[in-house]
A and B are shown apart, each in its own frame.
Chain A
Amino acid sequence: MSARNGRGPAFKRNFSPRTWLIRHAQVMLASLGRLTRLPLATFMTAAVIGIAIALPGAMNTLVNNIRTLSGAWDSSASLSLFLKPQLDEAGGQALADRIGTWPEVGTIRVIGRGEALAEFRRLSGFGEALDLLGENPLPVVLLLQPSLSAGGPDAAAALADRLGKLPEVELAQLDLQWVRRLHAITRTAERGIWVLAGLLSMAVLLIIGNTIRLEINNRRPEIEITKLVGATNAFIRRPFLYDGLWYGLMGGAIAWLLIGLSVLLLQGPVAELAGLYDSRFELSGLSFRGSLAILLGSGLLGLIGAWLAVGRHLAAIEPA
């Protein structure tokens, strides 16, 4: 009786990986079977999860679209190079040809002094005052757009800085204020989505936790009897964890459908709107990676929610 200082002989734990795997597969399918036997209840739980996940998912899709759009706008943020007054149009053209070879520079257009004067006359209303000057005071202007690959308002600002230091250039002007604002807005929206996603993830955890808690209560006698014949906590936990996983995956699938459907519904009007702005912008849906992230993230949330519920409530059930 004194073996292992009173603890007695070790227990047999005939663990076989094969039976363990088979058992997992059985429990996984049994859990799915149990859920599909109550299609309405299962669908409602999954739908709540789906909607909770679709909300930040859809907003993220929206922000991604805005980012594509603002990316296009970045490059359309044109740079105006006002050249030194002594440079004539030929000098401007020569400079344009030289700068045009830089990788950061996309398209470039030379606005001659005459053209500039005509435009100024037309837009400013100082036409008569100009006549008094006798000669054209306006310099040659190079209007250039950064190349698409240059990217971002900071890169555009750096380019303007560099161009401004050229000896032929009097002033390089870049109107980036609104691009910066748009970027700030997208960043704020992104942050907001994270906050929202965090809150709604907690909601999903609570929904799944509560569903699993009810299920545990319903199956209390079964849990007690199973513990009575020597089930480990892991054994008892398993079906509930799979329940949570399935709920999460179904919710993820519903969220995916909801986002896809919303994009589909918005695509027509957005294309029309873009057409009015002479843009060929198209609303894009979820990428493959995005879809995968939604599905797996939702499944993971389901698993965690079930884990939390099971941890809290299963320990309280002991056979008596």
Chain B
Amino acid sequence: MIQFDNVSKRYPGGHEGLSGTSFRLESGEMAFLTGHSGAGKSTLLKLIGLLERASRGQVWVNERNLNKLKARDIPYHRREVGMIFQDHRLLHDRTVFDNIALPLVVAGVGHQETQRKVRAALDKVGLLNKEKVYPMMLSGGEQQRVGIARAVVTRPPVILADEPTGNLDPELSREIMELFMQFNQVGVTLLIATHDIALIDTLGQRTLVLKQGKMVGDRPA
């Protein structure tokens, strides 16, 4: 569950990333977040992952008011929110396996369970034969799938994706989106920022539209 109540984010220097945004995403719901660059999509996702704090208003994620979350609780909050980025944010000096295992290692999961869960995640994104490879040796689409595997390996209730298909061709983009829809079918809440309107129009999901930091559209599924 994700809920924004009249949320504003003002950056140092006066730029307003979000102004008075409200919306609610039910548990197990999936939605796309669209808008031009600079409309506030990334800011909105960062507020959910607590990469930023709201300047005004209330942000609720997984029944918790993030405004009231203490700094020492942030890591535990992030373990419940899988994040996927356009630039993948992989560690290039570690194998695909180690990259995907990172959230489990961080959470103190045992060795055997880690092995099992990483393999399951690799299987889900179709990279089972690439676990010993380094990310640089993979194509852009494959790297993105490593990023996705890392985000889902701990089975978080919420997954955020910021332009996950930004650098991919339409074919690969569609595959990635279908992967997200599979996650949604097992009850994960997903919010995906993208400006690939053509693609999301064909997927028939709820779509939120941001414009200059304001929520200007909410098209139901």
Chain B contact surface mostly: mixed
B106 within 8 A of A: yes
B77 within 8 A of A: yes
Kindly list chain B residues whose C-beta atoms are within 8 Å of the C-beta of A229.
78-79, 83, 102-103, 106, 150
Kindly list chain B residues whose C-beta atoms are within 8 Å of the C-beta of A232.
72, 75, 106
Stretch in A1-9, A46-54, A135-143 touching the partner: A1-9
8 Å CB contact of B79 from A8, A222, A230, A319: A230
- Measured CB to CB, the nearest residue on chain B to A232 is B75
Check B91–A225 contact: CB distance below 8 A. Answer: yes
A227 within 8 A of B: yes
Check A19–B109 contact: CB distance below 8 A. Answer: yes
Interface size on A, residues (CB 8 A): 32
Check A225–B89 contact: CB distance below 8 A. Answer: yes
**Shortest Cβ distance from residue B78 to the other chain A in the assembled complex, whole angstroms:** 4
Kindly list chain B residues whose C-beta atoms are within 8 Å of the C-beta of A221.
91
Kindly list chain B residues whose C-beta atoms are within 8 Å of the C-beta of A235.
75, 106
Kindly list chain B residues whose C-beta atoms are within 8 Å of the C-beta of A23.
105, 108
Report Cα–Cα, A229/B84, bound state, in Å. Answer: 10
**Shortest Cβ distance from residue B97 to the other chain A in the assembled complex, whole angstroms:** 15
Contact with A along B61-72 (1 / 0, CB 8 A): 011110011001
Kindly list chain B residues whose C-beta atoms are within 8 Å of the C-beta of A227.
75, 78
Kindly list chain A residues whose C-beta atoms are within 8 Å of the C-beta of B73.
11
Q: List 6 A-B contacts (CB under 8 A).
A: A14-B107, A23-B105, A225-B91, A228-B51, A235-B75, A320-B52
Known contacts A226-B102, A229-B78, A230-B79: A8-B62 contact under CB 8 Å: yes
- Tier of interface size on chain B: 20 to 34
Kindly list chain A residues whose C-beta atoms are within 8 Å of the C-beta of B89.
224-225, 228
A318 within 8 A of B: yes
Check A7–B68 contact: CB distance below 8 A. Answer: yes
Check B64–A12 contact: CB distance below 8 A. Answer: no
Check B103–A8 contact: CB distance below 8 A. Answer: no
**Shortest Cβ distance from residue A258 to the other chain B in the assembled complex, whole angstroms:** 35
Known contacts A225-B102, A232-B75: A19-B110 contact under CB 8 Å: yes
Report Cα–Cα, A12/B156, bound state, in Å. Answer: 12
Check A13–B76 contact: CB distance below 8 A. Answer: yes
Contact with B along A6-36 (1 / 0, CB 8 A): 1111011111100110110000000000000
- Measured CB to CB, the nearest residue on chain B to A13 is B76
Report Cα–Cα, A16/B110, bound state, in Å. Answer: 9
